[in-house]
Amino acid sequence: MRITLVTECIKRLAPDVEIRISEPMRKHTSFRIGGNAEIMALPRTEKEAALVMRACRICREDFFVLGNGTNVLAAENGIDCIVIKPMMTDLRQIGETTLYAQSGVLLSKLALEAMKLGLTGLEFAHGIPGSVGGAVFMNAGAYDGQIKDVVVRTDYIDEDGVLKSVSEDEQEFDYRKSFFSQREGLLITGAVFSLKKGNVQEIKEKMDDLMAKRKASQPLDLPSAGSTFKRPAEGYAAALIDRAGLKGLRIGGAEVSTKHAGFIVNAGNATSEDVRKLMHQVQERVYENSGIWLEPEIKFLGGESR
């Protein structure tokens, strides 16, 4: 009854939006883990997204905005909030050295487009598997590059369904934080990227070099959510985990990667509980060894976070 009422409410307000019932979350996360989302809405425009959010408020339903699912661990017992997965993919040049990308655009696609236009600044993002929305939300970064270095404006829908923007320092970027990660009920719709002129061949060579480093050092052949833990104030999570002798530690199908200790991988039919238990054991063992408590970088969806 509840699912029918919520679905009908969304359809009344946004009749063209795609709605999926009992959608397997494992199809939408890089971990390939997760039970079913009771309701998943996939808006393709800002207007549709705002109307879906309005329907959630009318029905007094919580919602979770899902990007490309590369930093999410979804619970096996299902997701009872409304999952909103924006499918907005507009990508265009709006100035000589400026690009606009909607939240559903993959970072890899954005980086390639910048390269084709001879614009430098996004090389670090080429191998990050997330979407623009998720990357802005968590200020994604790699190889000394961060989203905060190139995003000058972010557009979003607020709690009242109004399209707004934050610019420059208003975006409150910090290590794996942003204006959006510190607030609830917002949905990122797009961002403006300010880049610099560069040489296409040099940009391509840098991107190829970074990708080669990723392949050599990261377990890209197994499902994971990237770096499992945030970088602590002292040292690096991977080094601390390695020093504690935890490479290869396994619970069920979840394993601390033998290639890169900072990754927990789905080594074979892992459940969300396998990953949670392994993460907690890693936290405890690293704390015993170094006195440092590692903070998860992964976002938990459903179930209880550690």
Assign residue 78 the CATH number of its domain: 3.30.43.10
Backbone angles phi and psi of 117, in degrees to 5: -90, 0
Q: Does residue 70 share a domain with residue 99?
A: no
pLDDT, position 111: 97
Element (H, E) at 142: strand 141-142
pLDDT tens-digit map of 213-272: 999 999 999 999 999 999 998 889 999 999 999 999 999 999 999 999 999 999 999 999
Q: From CA 303, how far away is CA 145, in angstroms rounded? A: 33
Give the model's pLDDT for residue 151. Answer: 98
Least confident of 5-14, 47-56, 78-87, 125-134: 5-14
Last residue of a domain, one of 34, 50, 84: 84
- Positions marked active-site: 176, 227, 297
Would you call 105 helix, strand, or coil by DSSP?
A: coil
Name the pLDDT band for 302 (thresholds 50, 70, 90). confident
Pairing of strands 36-42, 79-84: parallel
If you average pLDDT over every residue of the chain, what do you get? 94
Please give the model's pTM, rounded to 2 decimal places.
0.92
**CATH classification of the domain holding 245:** 3.90.78.10
Cα 59 to chain center, whole Å? Answer: 27
In terms of domains, do 64 and 7 share one?
yes
Q: What is the pLDDT of residue 144?
A: 84
Owning domain of residue 234: 220-301
| Residue 196: both structure tokens together | 């610099």
Q: Kindly state whether residue 210 falls inside one of the protein's structural domains.
A: no
Q: What is the pLDDT of residues 44-91, one digit of tens each?
A: 999 999 999 999 999 899 999 999 999 999 999 989 899 999 999 999
Percent of the chain at pLDDT > 90 equals: 88
Q: Rounded to whole angstroms, how far apart are CA atoms 287 and 266?
A: 24
pLDDT of residue 306: 44
